[in-house]
Structure 1
Amino acid sequence: MKILLIGEYSRLHNSLKKGLNLLGHQVTLVGTGDMFKKFPVDESIQTKWLTDKPIPLLFRKILLRILKKDPAQWEIGYRFKKILPKLKNYDVVQLINSHSIGTYPNFEIKLLKKIFEQNGKVFLMGCGDDYPVVKAYLEGKMRYHMLTPYLESGSKLKSDYALKYLTPPYKKLFDFVYKNAEAVIPSDMDYKIPWEGWDKVAEMIPNPIIISKEYSPIKIEGRKIRILFGVNTMNYTKKGYRFFDEALIRIEKKFPHLVEIRRTENLPFHIYVKELELCDILLDNVYAYDQGYNALEAMARGKIVFTGAETEFEQHYNLKEKVAINALPDAESIFLELEELILNPERIENIGQKAREFIEREHECEVVAKKYLSLWQQTL
């Protein structure tokens, strides 16, 4: 089968591509690389003129202030249009979300219209911001979520990037994509729940993970416990990082002889992975029910992850033992969970092993790729 994957914001499409390649399928991945993360793509539509160098960046800011629009989005659309002649005769096209190219909505509709005309069946991922998800969050469908900080009483946040999906241009884009899609595929509980009730929603397929066969279980004896807090500054508020920061201040003060804390910011993925390899505990996300990619990558390496691991997640996978620590939006709760692990390092070793086994069972990229193929083939 010939498959076209458009958009990459987490490593989902890279991991799925790996699984599909192992099963003998031809895959092309188109995307920007997602800024500082620099995910690999086959066809790049990353901006080249309006880079982060001083003069182009200044020009971009001036135009943004005058026109109230980011010229980099036009460049992304232009670069996608240039490669359109190559993106044809695919059996399946899958979009990472309704704004998968990343240009302005009206321009994106024109580009996607051409993609849909010259290829086979279209599928939409339910793995991030989109109209139904943002709408469900604002309507209170979940106890907490990425927009919780924006909605809190006294919040200083004037808006949120995700709110653009509710504006008329992006709603029009979503409607166009949804109309042309065969199905929407949720990737975890944070998107499965908001998408419930939409008639094209398929069964949830877990995020695929490329699992290294080189694996050494955690052994704490004779050394400090290593805690990694990898911060994406753009998401500081919406991931609840302040609760981790508050808890870590207390942990560092109380257990300087037992822990080694490493705090990083905005690392490219290939460097971030090296940091993951060295840690025992990763602080990932507070406002979540399920695990995103950073958490899953760490769990695949047998690490303890403070992330979304709510009751809904445990029930979905019928889990009887912990595979991650459910990080609540409460610094005291996080502190107590960390303290318990620090004082009982054998729990770190045990949960880390369970995390690895869970990823092998539910998220291994070839296993997950077979589930995608089964869904796609039902419609071909």
Structure 2
Amino acid sequence: MKILLVGEYSRLHNSLKEGLQELGHEVALNGLNDGFKNYPVDFKIKRKWNSGILKKLKLLFLKCTGFDITSYLTYRQVKNNLDKFSGFDVVQLINENSFLCVPKYEIKIINLLLKNNQKLFLLSCGNDYLSVTFNFKNPELKTEVTSYLEGKVLDKNFQNTLKFKQPDFKKLHDFIFKNCCGVIASDLDYYFPLLNHPRFSGLIPNPININKLIFTENPITDKIVIFLGINNQTYYKKGCDYFEKALTVIQSKYPDKVKVIISRSVPYATYINSYNECHILLDQIYAKDQGYNALEAMAKGKVVFTGAGDDFVQRYNLTEKVAIHAKDDIEYLVNELSFLIENPNEIIKIQKNARLFIEQEHNYVGISKKYISTWNTNKKFT
């Protein structure tokens, strides 16, 4: 099978590509990658007029005319390199806004993909119309919009989420859902908004290349090392404010027992090795399931604070703890961290459980087989 994966912002598509290639399929990963994280793609679409003086001129022109030159130039790059986006049995979009264009040009690009390939599928693994709508309609749930609803994030810093509430993005959503063969959720945070939707093709867990992420014993011989990786753009969205406050208490409570490492907005290649020495990794507060960073850390044998509550435990029928469920409660976080610090054998136990869980539920080759089955089973809607 010949497969095109479009876009990358978590290494999901890279790991899926590696799994598919192991199975003998021909795979290309083309499109945008994710800013400073700099994940590899085979053919990269560059966002032009998107920095410095050109960005200021673009915004002025957009305000005066309504014309977005960055989106237009992105569309032109795809059209002028159509051979890189044509002739595939399956095309899978990383998101409803995979090319980060305004909806008018996103639809134009997707039309090109529809006309020049056999099947189109959509991943729900980031902000999109249904997940954002679901989260705002259920404010009692702890989701990535919680910090915004609490007034911690300004509108201008939350546009990557709020844009999906706009009518033109609803139009884009409707267009994709009308023309795609199915929509796949990557974890429970996107599963529930899609539940019972006729286009929903089910949940396929994130693929993790367990051969590239080596589990190594990390005995506690001196201090327990705690790591917090911060993306400044998602500081409140991930609940990093709670983690930092909890760490302040922990450092005061156990000055001779812990070492804290904090990194901020580093490229993926740097990030993935920056926490090698840690025993505990603080990932995110507002989640039902693990995102990609958490899963990779678990594969390397880290005790991860992330989404691991009742829905997650029931989904995978877990009897052993593989991660620590994180909450927006400083006292709770301090208590959980304190228990681990005072019971280091529990850290070693969870580290091994975490690796085994990744091997059993997220093996990139096994997950790739599930994608193939879904792509083959789902036909075009009429």
Q: TM-score range by the shorter chain?
A: over 0.9
Q: Is the CA contact 1:29–1:43 (under 8 Å) kept in the aligned structure 2?
A: yes
In 2: Cα distance, 1:337 partner to 1:268 partner: 30
In 1: Cα distance, 2:70 partner to 2:252 partner: 45
Give the aligned CA root-mean-square deviation in angstroms: 1.7
2:52 matched to 1:57? yes
In 2: Cα distance, 1:321 partner to 1:142 partner: 28
Residue 76 of structure 1, CA deviation: 2.9
2:141 matched to 1:143? yes
The one-character-per-residue Cα deviations of 1:53-108 (angstroms, maximum 9, x if unpaired) are xxx51331343255347644443333222222332110001111111122221111
The one-character-per-residue Cα deviations of 1:274-301 (angstroms, maximum 9, x if unpaired) are 1132211111100001000000010000
Cα distance, 1:137–1:25 mapped onto 2, change above 3 Å: same
Cα distance, 1:234–1:101 mapped onto 2, change above 3 Å: same
Q: Determine the structure 2 residue equivalent to 1:242.
A: 241
In 1: Cα distance, 2:17 partner to 2:152 partner: 40
Q: Is the CA contact 1:211–1:365 (under 8 Å) kept in the aligned structure 2?
A: yes
2:95 matched to 1:88? no
Code of the aligned partner of 1:81: K
Q: Is the CA contact 1:218–1:348 (under 8 Å) kept in the aligned structure 2?
A: no
In 1: Cα distance, 2:324 partner to 2:137 partner: 27
Code of the aligned partner of 2:2: K
TM-score by length of 1: 0.94
Cα distance, 1:302–1:138 mapped onto 2, change above 3 Å: same
Q: Determine the structure 2 residue equivalent to 1:197.
A: 196
In 1: Cα distance, 2:27 partner to 2:333 partner: 41
**Structure 1 counterpart SS, 2:200:** coil
In 1: Cα distance, 2:281 partner to 2:70 partner: 34
Q: Which segments of 5 or more consecutive residues in structure 2 lack a partner in the other structure? A: none
Deviates more, 1:103-112 or 1:12-21: 103-112
Residue pairs, 1:64-79, within 5 angstroms:
64-65=59-60, 67-68=62-63, 71-79=69-77
Code of the aligned partner of 1:76: T
**Structure 1 counterpart SS, 2:75:** helix
**Structure 1 counterpart SS, 2:109:** helix
Task: State the identity as a percent.
Answer: 45
In 2: Cα distance, 1:245 partner to 1:70 partner: 39
Q: Determine the structure 1 residue equivalent to 2:18.
A: 18
The one-character-per-residue Cα deviations of 1:83-138 (angstroms, maximum 9, x if unpaired) are 22332110001111111122221111111111101101111111111111111111
Q: Determine the structure 2 residue equivalent to 1:102.
A: 100
Q: Determine the structure 2 residue equivalent to 1:6.
A: 6
Q: Determine the structure 2 residue equivalent to 1:174.
A: 173
Residue pairs, 1:356-367, within 5 angstroms:
356-367=355-366
Matched residue pairs, number? 373
In 2: Cα distance, 1:234 partner to 1:114 partner: 32
Code of the aligned partner of 2:369: K
Cα distance, 1:65–1:249 mapped onto 2, change above 3 Å: farther
In 2: Cα distance, 1:178 partner to 1:142 partner: 28
In 1: Cα distance, 2:120 partner to 2:144 partner: 28
Deviates more, 1:78-87 or 1:118-127: 78-87
Residue 211 of structure 1, CA deviation: 1.1
Q: Determine the structure 2 residue equivalent to 1:34.
A: 34
Q: Is the CA contact 2:147–2:153 (under 8 Å) kept in the aligned structure 1?
A: no
Q: Determine the structure 2 residue equivalent to 1:230.
A: 229
Q: Determine the structure 2 residue equivalent to 1:158.
A: 155
In 1: Cα distance, 2:222 partner to 2:324 partner: 22
Q: Determine the structure 2 residue equivalent to 1:343.
A: 342
Q: Determine the structure 2 residue equivalent to 1:120.
A: 118
Residue 141 of structure 1, CA deviation: 7.4
The one-character-per-residue Cα deviations of 1:166-191 (angstroms, maximum 9, x if unpaired) are 21111111111111111111110100
Q: Is the CA contact 1:127–1:188 (under 8 Å) kept in the aligned structure 2?
A: yes
In 1: Cα distance, 2:75 partner to 2:253 partner: 52
In 2: Cα distance, 1:330 partner to 1:157 partner: 22
Residue 355 of structure 1, CA deviation: 0.3
In 2: Cα distance, 1:45 partner to 1:119 partner: 19
